[in-house]
Homo-oligomer: A and B are copies of this chain.
Amino acid sequence: MATQSTEEYLEAIYKLGGEREPLAISVLAERLSVSSPSVSEMARKLAEQGLASYEPYKGVTLTAEGQARALAVIRRHRLWERFLTDTLGFSWDQVHDEACRLEHVTSPLVEERLAEFLETPQTCPHGHPMPTAQGKVTVEAARPLSALEPGQRGVVLWVPEEKVEMLQYLTALGLKPQATVQVEAVAPFQGPLTVRIGEAWHPLGWEVASQIMVRLL
């Protein structure tokens, strides 16, 4: 049985792209707020358990089994987020931390019943796609809002889920999944964008815009 800590590593590796290509130890350490030696050690253990492949100095990559485990955890996380917002009435900036704990104590049976109760949601409240119970996930082709040219419009697909202050800011702007946003202007040198959401125009820092993923209209 995978420990809570193991699940957190698998989830982080997956989200940082380690299901595709070797992920640097330092990147993982940064994300999990632990030291590099701790990550090295865990990488070795994940490899021992067949959940990751790991070559010293080369980084860590999930095996098929590791990916499946990671997606199961991510599915539980996103189901709980939906429950917390849709059923208990939490705002989308409150639910990530709660779900981070609930995801590790959820049996497959509770996962299944929860999904039924929520009527099989297709995304989390931040727009990220829901992996299926079979461990598949379909990620829609997306580009950052910052990549749009002036005059182009996009539909928001997803936003970062773990940044509380940014989520509160995006709430104020109305920048949530399904919202339509038009880029009116882009300042050079990765400068701020001017975007229109509904009838309102807003300046938007490039750094923020680069984290809002959209589908081009």
Contacts and interface: CB of A to CB of B under 8 A. Distances in A.
Interface of A: 84, 87-90, 94, 98, 101-102, 104-105, 107, 109-110, 113-114, 117
Nearest to A102: B105
Contacts of A104: 105
Contacts of A107: 98
The A interface, classified by DSSP as helix, strand, loop or mixed, is helix
Contact of A105 (B101, B109, B113, B117): B101
Given A104-B105, A105-B105, A113 B90 contact: yes
A17 to B, nearest CB: 28
12 contacts: A84-B110, A87-B117, A88-B110, A88-B113, A88-B114, A89-B113, A90-B109, A98-B109, A98-B110, A101-B105, A102-B102, A104-B105
How many copies of this chain does the complex contain? Answer: 2
A119 to B, nearest CB: 13
Contacts of A105: 101-102, 104-105
Contacts of A101: 105
A88 to B, nearest CB: 4
A7 to B, nearest CB: 13
Contacts of A117: 87-88
Which 7 residue pairs are nearest across A and B when measured between Cβ atoms? A101-B105, A88-B113, A102-B105, A105-B105, A88-B117, A98-B110, A98-B107
Contacts of A90: 109, 113
Contacts of A110: 84, 88, 98
Contacts of A98: 107, 109-110
Nearest to A107: B98
Nearest to A90: B113
Contacts of A84: 110
Contacts of A102: 102, 105
A2 to B, nearest CB: 14
